[in-house]
């Protein structure tokens, strides 16, 4: 009788322990599933409320290239073009006497370690027009722009009678020695703009204009 009671008690304890274990295992599985689903839900919620989430980039608003862009044939020059690079119209179409004087001066300057670069030489009318429009946009009016860029039809660049020289070492050299080659700075506000004045070889360069608006040639 005692052994039968003990066996039944043992069986009940075993069943209770099994039931408890089943509850614990079930709760653990549910917890794991909830934990695994939480990050994805949070991410989805975050993306849904983020103002930039997966939003496509706005279309480019950069202007397209102009249909009538100026080219090398209009006198545009790449960087580091010297007075000897006559494969470019901007150099080759300079007045022959001006180009000869520039090359003669450049040869002498090279002995002092100075190189003459042509930032701008001969220009077509189209190129001059583009530069003037850009200057108007920069300075706000035709009259102010004309202090830095001659109006189309008046610039000495269009006739090949002017060259803008760089670097500052070159313009400093020309300021000191250019007159002996007939090369003169014409405008006080443009230390890079040089034209040929043959009389300067014997008499020195003439007085400079303050800027192009004071040059009578600009009134043509």
Q: Residue 50: pLDDT above 80? A: no
Q: Residue 53: pLDDT above 50? A: no
Residue 68 is predicted with a pLDDT of 64
Q: What is the pLDDT of residues 100-109, one digit of tens each?
A: 999 999 999 9
Give residue limits of the domains in the chain: 1-48, 72-219
Q: How far is CA 203 from CA 89, 100, 188, 193, in A?
A: 32, 20, 19, 20
Average pLDDT over residues 35-45: 36
Q: Residue 5: pLDDT above 50? A: no
Average pLDDT over residues 11-15: 45
Q: Residue 39: pLDDT above 50? A: no
Residue 218 is predicted with a pLDDT of 87
Helix axes 96-110, 168-177, angle to 10 degrees: 100
Q: 81 or 66, which is more confident?
A: 81
Question: What class, spelled out in words, does domain 72-219 have in CATH?
Answer: alpha beta
Residue 220 is predicted with a pLDDT of 60
Tokens of 201: 């070889």
Q: Token match 């400079």: residue?
A: 208
Q: What is the pLDDT of residues 107-122, one digit of tens each?
A: 999 999 999 999 999 9
Prediction pTM value: 0.69
For residue 82, give the DSSP letter. B
pLDDT band of residue 219 (cuts 50, 70, 90) is confident
Q: What is the pLDDT of residues 138-194, one digit of tens each?
A: 999 999 999 999 999 999 999 999 999 999 999 999 999 999 999 999 999 999 999
d(CA 160, CA 101): 13
CB-based contacts of 17, cutoff 8 Å, min separation 6: none
Q: Using CA of residue 114, residue 197, residue 118, residue 137, what is the dihedral sign? A: positive
pLDDT band of residue 127 (cuts 50, 70, 90) is very high
Q: What is the pLDDT of residues 196-212, one digit of tens each?
A: 999 999 999 999 999 99
Q: What is the pLDDT of residues 67-84, one digit of tens each?
A: 369 999 999 999 999 999
């Amino acid at each position: 009788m005692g052994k039968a009671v003990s066996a039944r008690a043992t069986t009940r304890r075993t069943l209770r322990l099994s039931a408890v274990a089943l509850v614990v295992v079930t709760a653990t599985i549910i917890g794991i599933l909830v934990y695994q689903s939480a990050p994805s839900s949070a991410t989805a919620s975050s993306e849904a409320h983020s103002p930039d989430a997966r939003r496509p980039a706005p279309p480019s608003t950069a202007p397209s290239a102009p249909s009538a862009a100026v080219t090398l044939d209009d006198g545009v020059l790449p960087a580091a073009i010297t007075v000897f690079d006559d494969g470019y119209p901007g150099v080759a179409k300079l007045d022959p006497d001006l180009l000869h004087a520039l090359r003669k001066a450049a040869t002498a300057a090279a002995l002092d370690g100075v190189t003459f670069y042509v930032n701008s030489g001969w220009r077509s009318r189209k190129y001059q027009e583009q530069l003037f429009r850009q200057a108007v946009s920069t300075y706000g009016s035709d009259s102010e722009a004309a202090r830095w860029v001659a109006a189309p039809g008046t610039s000495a660049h269009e006739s090949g009678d002017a060259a803008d020289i760089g670097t500052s070492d070159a313009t400093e050299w020309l300021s000191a020695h250019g007159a002996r080659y007939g090369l003169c700075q014409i405008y006080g506000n443009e230390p890079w703009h040089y034209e040929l004045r043959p009389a300067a070889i014997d008499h020195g360069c003439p007085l400079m204009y303050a800027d192009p608006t004071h040059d009578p040639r600009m009134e043509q």
